[in-house]
A and B are shown apart, each in its own frame.
Chain A
């Protein structure tokens, strides 16, 4: 350690003096294939066995009947055709509004992502004006720490149909409304689930956006105020444009959450009542591990993968830009 704090140049000279003709490479990241192999081997083996090979296998399986998860009979695009045209639990366009897992995921995409972003910005902005900001942020962030399973139990309790148990029905009871079976009524179940999901994620958005808000130079805001800008104008003309980049990164993260969403649905409603709250990741589990239709489940997984490819490209681009600067 101590040696490392010395100025670089003299050390370099000394090294070339003592080692003479050997001319040691001074590049910190000199080429060393043995070392590279040694350090990369464990990760490479695990990634190839548990990610790369399985991805190729699953892509192939999506075009197979896939009984028992093995290659039994090639069926071309049958699994995809079945999913999109013959499986009302996946997508049913025969009525309006449509229904099925894809539609539910779209509802999640719009309302969960939208509300988490808006509420995150609102909480971050409001909290920045008071002294107990860090307490508010901690309270709102707390649900991020707990398991989706625990979050599901918390909300199953809030949504309990009995007004003597469920907080929400008790509150509505004061206004002589309900009780409503939030999780038992196909008309309410998705809204109820999305509400629980929003509650779980607003803290994440708040913390990220609060950091972004603090990055806005105070001089800009002050000069805007002295020029006579209203708070409204300041919010829409200065604050919003300046947090648009963290907002878009956040939106992408939330979209990924939606596509991978499983635990909350599995514990809260098990996709029900009936099949009315299924999402893509739930359909994968249901078709593969409950119904044994592994070819179809593989097709669902590939749909998930395809939906995530734009996100992958977005992230690689962002990463490349970050590494340039």
Chain B
């Protein structure tokens, strides 16, 4: 993303050399530090509050606010075991994994293949068809819900995972094709021409040249899609109709409507839902931010 050298933003003035100069500058900067401190507080406090709450005993949560934790300092992991076992969030966690992995790998594969054709195979109406894909990008998924549900119902697919796999895959394609095609066309033409002359077919070029050279783009798209599916509520609400297949978003929504003020359960549940995206965020921040920025057109 940003290089360390780029940290010196456009507004940074020349560094004063004298001590008094530095002091004046520090005083001038104080309002900026205060403002940024306040911003950091506003963006951290709500999340930290819920995190702290998820480890507080139920009786404490009901008696005092989380900001008074320092006066009691009692922590427990009971909330997590309660929500994982008694409330069945463990099963939902597994469902998230079962739903997310194929819903990431399938569109990744299918979109890469289509993007390859759009960038390196010539066929009639190629550019018009690609513009159609860009247009499909803007269709709100809601437009497809009713007819697609009609297709799935007689097959009973909404009772399993297949419905949610298929819709996540299909709805991810326009964006995936758009993103990957725009990356694939930047690959050096010479490389692909040389491979063709060496007798490589399209499958060979795709597998040995285009995909290996596009790992950054494919990874960014893969992370974006994985988190999209992991965090999705709406599609699961419509296309997962069997309780035992519910992902965590649905399970937490149910928890909220049943026990609206049982914060020990809700806080722990919300953190179980957040843990994987947070891990991804901290470990793969660069790809993650790139994927999300690119995904902004979705």
Instruction: Give chain A's interface residues, CB within 8 Å of chain B.
Output: 1, 3-6, 8, 11-12, 15, 24-33, 35-36, 38-40, 42-44, 46-47, 49-55, 57-58, 61, 66, 69-70, 123, 125-134, 136, 138-150, 153-158, 160, 163-167, 170, 199, 202-204, 207-208, 210-211, 213-214, 216, 218, 221, 225, 231, 239, 250, 253, 256, 259-260, 262-263, 266-267, 270, 281, 284-285, 288-289, 294, 297-298, 300-302, 304-305, 308-309, 311-312, 315-316, 319
Contacts and interface: CB of A to CB of B under 8 A. Distances in A.
B136 A51 contact: yes
A132 to B, nearest CB: 8
Contacts of B261: 160, 165
A259 B123 CA distance: 36
Contact of A302 (B143, B191, B293): B143
Interface stretch (B16-24, B32-40, B70-78, B214-222): B32-40
Interface of B: 1-2, 6-7, 9-13, 29, 32-33, 35-36, 39-40, 42-47, 49-50, 53, 61-67, 110-111, 113-114, 116-117, 119-124, 126, 131, 133-151, 166-167, 169-171, 173-174, 177, 188-198, 201-203, 206, 208-209, 227, 230-234, 237-238, 248-249, 252-253, 256-257, 261, 263, 266-267, 269-271, 273-274, 277-278, 280-281, 285, 288-289, 292-293, 296-297
A140 B11 contact: no
A167 B142 contact: no
A138 B166 CA distance: 34
- What secondary structure prevails in chain B residues at the interface with A? helix
A202 to B, nearest CB: 8
Contact of B170 (A46, A129, A147, A170): A46
Given A29-B122, A149-B231, A69 B50 contact: no
B144 A146 contact: no
Contacts of A216: 10
Contact of A167 (B49, B123, B277): B49
A147 B277 CA distance: 8
Given A133-B7, A146-B231, A30 B39 contact: no
A47 B273 contact: no
A29 B127 CA distance: 13
A31 B238 contact: no
Contacts of A49: 151, 170
A55 B252 contact: no
B174 A28 contact: no
B121 A39 contact: yes
Given A39-B113, A138-B285, A147 B274 contact: yes
Contact of B2 (A134, A284, A302, A319): A134
Contacts of A131: 7
Contact of A266 (B39, B149, B189, B253): B253
Contact of A50 (B171, B273, B280): B171
A24 B199 CA distance: 10
